[in-house]
Amino acid sequence: MTRAHSQPPASRAGLCPSEHFPGVTSTTYLNAAGIGLTPLPVAQSTADYVMDLAVRGTVAYFETVEKLGERSKLEGSKLFGCDPQNIALTDSTAEAICQFAWWVAPKRGQNVVVIDIDHPSPIYPWLRIAADTGAEIRYVRVEQEPQSLTPERLAALTDRNTVAISVSHVLWTSGYRFDLRALADLAHSVGAYLVVDATQSAGVIPLDVVAMNVDFLAASAFKWMLSHSGVALCYIRPQIAERMRPLLVGNNSTGRTLSSRPAGYDTSRIVYPDGVARLQYASSCHVARHTLGGALEYLNRIGIGNIERHVLKLCKQLGEGLSRLGAEVLTPEPDQARAGIVTARFPNWTGEDLSERLAQHQVVTLPRLNGVRFAPHLYNDSEDIARALEVVEALASGSAS
Ligand SMILES: Cc1ncc(COP(=O)(O)O)c(C=O)c1O
């Protein structure tokens, strides 16, 4: 194996200063679909905030807690294409979907359409309710042949008894990207909700929840949004949010935190705030929110459209290179059907083995669908892709140790 295999390139052409992401000069980091790297200035600012909390306690907390939520919603609204007041901050995507699903509460005789290779977050909440009510969870089954997924497969399972189509915008496994407007039309044609987990698209693909006409969309912050776990953004169509009775309630359910109501609470009743804010119910991880606001400002300054173009170019280079090396690429080829993920299987390798061998050569990926999932972001450049392909080739040919 040549020196190039163990030495990531010194000069870089990502969309941002390389000193903001030391992880991509010390390794070939292609795992934004697992955990995105936080820009160093944002991480430093959060570290300072943690220290401030440690030293000044409630004084620092009361000064910042409301502003942190507002900044994340404002920046999140640019990502989602909606008003900031139509976004709630929840602790996770699964929590947000649970809140919505328990409100919809499908009954026996009704069904929810999901995909077998999707993430548990848009599936388990419905499964849990179905265990109590006898509702049917209908699976589009593509595990044996992930490339066979099409919107028509969902349409074939959707009928008058469907109450929700619940899917990821971009699948964490194969990287398939749905046309959300078409799925919304499908769901609405039978009076169902379109519920979207955008964890693998928010931060890398421009979203426009209004034009896409989705009913519900939530995304966790720790991947393409370059933040931490413990916070997610959740949009619900305002006309629906107004009617929602939240499953989870707590000291924030009235829409005001203790910092703004020193006299305490009216514990005899709960008066919900307008709209989706009623999903925010208790003390949450404001440290994660600090990072989220900063990271979203960082991403929005660069522009999600620019990030999408950059990442799609890298994915094209990856897909073509992997095919040339004899891999079976499970991710669709057209730009509009993929985002930042390229998953590929290799003859004679399990996904786990190859991902582990890549890691030994400082190429960071994860195994998915018995292949390897590559996920470049704005901090990667074409040299990273060339290096990853070079290591794959050397491993496949047996010339790498
Ligand atoms: C599509 C998708 N949704 C959700 C999650 C996790 O989100 P949460 O734990 O916030 O529900 C992940 C990854 O962990 C994911 O890939």
> Each residue of 89-120: pLDDT tens digit?
999 999 999 999 999 999 999 999 999 999 99
> Each residue of 313-362: pLDDT tens digit?
999 999 999 999 999 999 999 999 999 999 999 988 999 999 999 999 99
Quick one: tokens of 361?
A: 């050569």
SS3 111: strand
Between helices 124-133 and 93-104, what is the axis angle to 10°?
30
Q: Average of pLDDT values for 259-267?
A: 70
Q: Looking at the domain covering 47-301, what would its CATH class be?
A: alpha beta
Is the C-beta atom of 95 inside 6 A of ligand 1?
A: no
Is the C-beta atom of 200 inside 6 A of ligand 1?
A: yes
SS3 345: strand
Contact at 8 Å (CB) between 61 and 285?
no
Q: Is the whole-model pTM more than 0.85? A: yes
pLDDT of 214 above 80? yes
pLDDT of 381 above 50? yes
- Residue 388 sits at φ, ψ, to 5 deg, of -60, -45
What band does 399 get if pLDDT is binned at 50, 70 and 90?
confident
What atom of ligand 1 comes closest to residue 92's alpha carbon? Answer: 10
What atom of ligand 1 comes closest to residue 97's alpha carbon? Answer: 11
* Distance from residue 198's CA to the centre of ligand 1 (Å): 9
Contact at 8 Å (CB) between 154 and 98?
no
Contact at 8 Å (CB) between 363 and 391?
yes
pLDDT of 1 above 50? no
Q: In 3D, which of 379, 382, 391, 302 has the Cα closest to residue 40?
A: 379
Task: State which of 93, 98, 118 you would mutate to test the pocket of ligand 1, scoring each by most atoms of that ligand within 8 A of its C-beta.
Answer: 93
Cα–Cα distance for residue pair 110/130, rounded to 1 Å = 10
Higher pLDDT: 20 or 4? It is 20
What atom of ligand 1 comes closest to residue 33's alpha carbon? Answer: 16
User: Which regions of 265-381 does DSSP assign to beta strands (E)?
Assistant: 328-329, 342-345, 363-364, 366-368, 371-374
Which pLDDT does position 260 carry in this prediction? 60
pLDDT of 400 above 60? yes
> Each residue of 13-52: pLDDT tens digit?
778 999 999 999 989 999 999 999 999 999 999 999 999 9
What atom of ligand 1 comes closest to residue 94's alpha carbon? Answer: 11
Range with the poorest average pLDDT among 26-35, 179-188, 263-272, 314-323: 263-272
Query: Could you name the CATH architecture of 3-30+303-397?
Result: Alpha-Beta Complex (3.90)
Q: Average of pLDDT values for 107-134?
A: 98
> Which residue lies with its CA nearest to atom 10 of ligand 1?
92
* Distance from residue 63's CA to the centre of ligand 1 (Å): 31
Which pLDDT does position 257 carry in this prediction? 62
Which pLDDT does position 266 carry in this prediction? 83
Q: In 3D, which of 83, 122, 121, 88 has the Cα closest to residue 234?
A: 88
Which pLDDT does position 264 carry in this prediction? 76
Q: Is the dihedral angle over the CA atoms 19, 22, 24, 28 positive or is it negative?
A: positive
Q: Are strands 162-168 and 193-197 parallel, antiparallel or unpaired?
A: parallel
Is the C-beta atom of 220 inside 6 A of ligand 1?
A: yes
- For residues 141-150, one letter each, b for 16 or more C-beta atoms within 10 angstroms of the residue's C-beta and e for the rest, the string is ebeeebeebe
Is the C-beta atom of 92 inside 6 A of ligand 1?
A: yes
Is the C-beta atom of 331 inside 6 A of ligand 1?
A: no
Which pLDDT does position 11 carry in this prediction? 57
Is the C-beta atom of 199 inside 6 A of ligand 1?
A: yes
Give 84-147 as a DSSP string. Answer: GGGEEEES-HHHHHHHHHHHH---TT-EEEEETTS-STTTHHHHHHHHHH-PEEEEE--TT-GG
Domain ranges of the chain: 3-30+303-397, 47-301
Is the C-beta atom of 339 inside 6 A of ligand 1?
A: no
Is the C-beta atom of 174 inside 6 A of ligand 1?
A: no
Percent of the chain residues past pLDDT 70, beyond the cut: 95
pLDDT of 6 above 70? no
Which pLDDT does position 4 carry in this prediction? 40
Task: State which of 220, 222, 224, 233 you would mutate to test the pocket of ligand 1, scoring each by most atoms of that ligand within 8 A of its C-beta.
Answer: 220
Contact at 8 Å (CB) between 69 and 289?
yes
H helices of 17-110, where?
Answer: 23-26, 40-56, 58-80, 93-104
pLDDT of 263 above 80? no
Average pLDDT for the chain: 94
Quick one: tokens of 229?
A: 């776990």
Contact at 8 Å (CB) between 40 and 19?
yes
Quick one: tokens of 2?
A: 């040549």
Which pLDDT does position 396 carry in this prediction? 84
DSSP 37: P
Instruction: Quickly count: other Cβ atoms within 10 Å of residue 270's Cβ.
Output: 15
Return the amino acid letter for 41.
Answer: P
Contact at 8 Å (CB) between 349 and 328?
no
* Distance from residue 222's CA to the centre of ligand 1 (Å): 9
What band does 398 get if pLDDT is binned at 50, 70 and 90?
confident
Is the C-beta atom of 93 inside 6 A of ligand 1?
A: yes
pLDDT of 255 above 90? no
What band does 258 get if pLDDT is binned at 50, 70 and 90?
low
Contact at 8 Å (CB) between 208 and 81?
yes
What band does 2 get if pLDDT is binned at 50, 70 and 90?
very low
Sheet hosting strand 328-329, strand order edge to edge: 328-329, 342-345, 371-374, 366-368
What band does 364 get if pLDDT is binned at 50, 70 and 90?
very high
Cα–Cα distance for residue pair 139/13, rounded to 1 Å = 42
Which pLDDT does position 28 carry in this prediction? 97
